[in-house]
Amino acid sequence: MLKLKEGLKEGGRVVAGGWLASKRVQGDIAFLVLFESGKELQVTIKGDNKRLLEKAEKIREHSSLIVEGTIHLTEKAPRGYEIYPTKIRIVSPAKKIPPFHVYGGNLPSIDKRLDIRAVDLRRVKAMAIFKLRHLLLKSCREFLSKRGFIEVQTSKIISSATEGGAALFPIMYYDKEAFLAQSPQLYKEQLIMAFEKVFEIGPIFRAEPFRTLRHLSEAFSLDVEQAFVDYREIMDLLEELVKYVLTEIANEGKEELKDLRYELEIPEGPIPRITYDQAIEILQGKGIEVNWGDDLGTKELEVLGSEMNGYYFITDWPLSLKPFYIMPKGRLSESFDLMYKDLELSSGGTRIHRKSLLVKRLKEQGLKPKGFDYHLRVFDYGMPPHAGFGLGIDRFMMVITGVNNIREVVLYPRDVRRLIP
């Protein structure tokens, strides 16, 4: 909270509320650094103010304070000004000291920090990560809105699976069994019938039984769907989106990237595109035992990632590896994954828009078309050709911030062992 009663001018009266990040008492002068609205604000107590100096010595870091005083303009302070206080109220004293420092140093395990996540988020690096996350979402919205997409929200309580490989979380829905949505896939496809171009930013739920550094039970994805385009045009759109948001973040998130000591990589020129067949050839050339039709696992992606470096697409996957809604192309499919080194960031493709083919593909995948009645019935009303992608926001954040554990970029991560806070 900051109230500049007479604007920002020398001697102007000010009231500020924040929490104490650090305190330095040097003889007869004390510097308090408050965080106000996530940014540093310096409060300087001078020697002639004995009463406040004594009070400052007793305040524990993390306590919430309200400071009243006057403005002194100085380039030496973080905001170009400091406060000379006349009154400091400790509105909520900190009773405990967290096991980490706000400005850096050794960190306890992420599990210890997550137990008091709200306090962990007061660390400068954690704050930087979530400000960048905000910028990422803001620039995705900007980019897609400028292109005529509208943002939609679809239900997260569903009756049937969409993503074959990923397990569902069952829930009780009154007296019926229902599931948490693995993806807004079928809804976003339906919505292009009316709106042509839609996107959604929301949670996807995957019952991932293993604890890895890149999987969560609740992840966030940017889902995009567009009518009258195919997977190549959608790849172009995704490529432009990636470059746009990275450029925005590099410009608007300079301070935060500096806090993270991280150099953002913006791909120059076109993002390379290799087919699945080429990926297999590269891997076999490197002596990896992999056969055509195999999915690319951790080991394969590590080798491919070190070969390709940076961002690249893998296109035209075998049909057998893709969900039922992806358009076949002989034994291949009109599909792609966007990778960063060995990390899959996004997947997408052209969708099937003919009902008979969709029913055939459901059956081929051992799924019962009856369970998809609610979806199939709208295909009788002139479903246009369409394509889209899902981009993992948390995974993209790992690349943007350079962290190697996905839990660092999610406020309240959920995994096989964690359901709190």
Answer yes or no whether residue 333 interacts with ligand AMO by CB under 6 A: no
Closest to 258 measured CA to CA, from 134, 141, 118, 131: 131
Q: Which is nearer to ligand AMO, 120 or 208 (CB)?
A: 208
Residue 419 is which amino acid? Answer: L
Q: Which residues within the stretch 154-173 sit at the binding site for ligand AMO (CB under 6 A)?
A: 163
Answer yes or no whether residue 316 interacts with ligand AMO by CB under 6 A: no
Out of 346, 352, 397, 399, the residue judged to bind ligand AMO by CB under 6 A = 346
Out of 18, 69, 85, 392, the residue judged to bind ligand AMO by CB under 6 A = 392
C-beta of 218: minimal distance to ligand AMO in Å? Answer: 8
Q: Which is nearer to ligand AMO, 139 or 185 (CB)?
A: 185
Q: Which residues within the stretch 223-252 sit at the binding site for ligand AMO (CB under 6 A)?
A: 223
Answer yes or no whether residue 388 interacts with ligand AMO by CB under 6 A: yes
The residue of the chain with the least Cβ separation from ligand AMO equals 392
Q: Which stretch binds ligand AMO (CB under 6 A): 63-71, 191-199, 288-296, 387-395?
A: 387-395
Q: Which is nearer to ligand AMO, 92 or 405 (CB)?
A: 405
Answer yes or no whether residue 344 interacts with ligand AMO by CB under 6 A: yes
- CB-count burial class (<10 Å; 0-12, 13-18, 19+) for 309: exposed
Q: How far apart are the first and last CA of the chain?
A: 26
Tell me how far apart the alpha carbons of residues 10 and 37 are, in angstroms, rounded to a whole number: 22
Tell me how far apart the alpha carbons of residues 335 and 91 are, in angstroms, rounded to a whole number: 57
Q: Which residues pair with 350 in a beta bridge?
A: 387
Q: Which is nearer to ligand AMO, 100 or 231 (CB)?
A: 231
User: Helix or strand or coil: residue 399?
Assistant: helix
Contacts of 315 (CB under 8 A, 6+ apart): 231, 235, 273, 274, 275, 276, 335, 336
Q: Which is nearer to ligand AMO, 265 or 344 (CB)?
A: 344
> Which two structure tokens, joined as six digits, stand for 83?
């406060």
Tell me how far apart the alpha carbons of residues 325 and 186 are, in angstroms, rounded to a whole number: 9
- Site residues (vs ligand AMO, CB under 6 A): 163, 183, 185, 206, 208, 215-216, 219, 221, 223, 344-349, 388-390, 392, 394-395
